[in-house]
Amino acid sequence: MGGPLVYLNGDFLPIEQAKISVLDRGFLFGDGVYEVIPAYGGHPFRLKQHLARLDDSLRGIRLASPLADGDWATILARLLEGRPGDYSLYLQITRGAADKRDHAFPAVVKPTVFAMATPISPPSPEKLQKGIAAVTLDDVRWQLCNIKSITLLANILLRQQATEEGCDEAILIRDGQATEGTASNLFIVKDGLLLTPAKGPSLLPGITRDLVLELAAGAGIPLAEASIGLADLEGADEIWMTSSTREVMAVTTLNGRPVGNGWPGPLWQRMTCLYQICKERLRTGAEG
């Protein structure tokens, strides 16, 4: 009798029964924002931080937050009920369905609120040990990349180009500086120093990015937020891409050439261990 439940506008129902209007502005314009939160053993990872970013995204598109953090926690707990494995929680809020298609905000409209849980598996040990291939591409996205907008066409086209070039991710270059990946943040290591571009409108403030910085600081790894040019990328000892679902991945090939010695580096090994410890602490309910 139907698949796992999803949440839509106050109801929990099987996914095939979850329906929205064709006039929904998310469907017509991509007028909405989203979040992706991993959950391990029934515990959402860094929930507070993800919900704070969701609020920032909503503020960024001038949409009032339809739910309080406590409401979200209740909804997500219900979606995870009886599902003890690892899940990705997807939350989406659009400006809702107006009675006609018009770019300007409708005077009266009720946001559409949707959430679902999808099983995830961590990157395979083979993939982790081998690392991924990346290609640098022109960052053709808009100027408000700090908003986690559902309007992802540029990211999609860039990721598709990377895929067609046999790569797992694209590293995006804007005005000569690397910003981030199509769905991940960027770190490099040079002479033992961990570097990542500073937050701002040209990149999404990744929750994994913050965690990696926190873990690095706690472990005494020297770090800095700094601009990363193409030459810095090409001369890096290590390159990492981070995201909630792909965790910390080492880039071992850049534009067809090996990064460092072509294998994930020692600092990546250290960081990935620290990250796994965090995840395991969460499973036992010790960390949020």
Ligand X SMILES: Cc1ncc(COP(=O)(O)O)c(C=O)c1O
**Interface contacts to ligand X, rule CB under 6 A:** 36, 180, 183-185, 204, 206-209, 242-244
Complex with ligand X: residue 150 or 259, whichever CB lies closer:
150
How far apart are alpha carbons 248 and 242 in whole angstroms? 5
Smallest distance, ligand X to C-beta of residue 110, A: 27
Is there a catalytic annotation at residue 148?
yes
Complex with ligand X: residue 12 or 275, whichever CB lies closer:
275
Strand partners, 236: none
Tokens of 179: 């910003």
Pairing outcome for strands 177-181 and 43-44: unpaired
Smallest distance, ligand X to C-beta of residue 263, A: 24
Pairing outcome for strands 185-190 and 169-174: unpaired
Smallest distance, ligand X to C-beta of residue 186, A: 9
Structural Rg of the chain based on CA atoms? 20
Is the CB of residue 41 less than 8 Å from the CB of residue 114? no
Complex with ligand X: residue 56 or 232, whichever CB lies closer:
56
Residues 11-50: b if buried by 16+ CB within 10 A, e if exposed: eeeeeeebeeeeebbbbbeebbbbbbbbbbbbbbbbbeeb
Q: Is 156 helix (H, G, I), strand (E, B) or coil?
A: helix
H helix runs in the chain, sequence order:
25-29, 47-60, 69-80, 125-130, 153-164, 207-218, 230-234, 266-283
Smallest distance, ligand X to C-beta of residue 127, A: 17
Complex with ligand X: residue 23 or 152, whichever CB lies closer:
152
Q: Given 148, 190, 199, 279, which residue is catalytic?
A: 148
Complex with ligand X: residue 75 or 172, whichever CB lies closer:
172
Smallest distance, ligand X to C-beta of residue 53, A: 7
**Count of H-run helices and E-run strands, the chain:** 8, 15
Would you please indicate which residues are annotated as catalytic (active-site) residues? 148
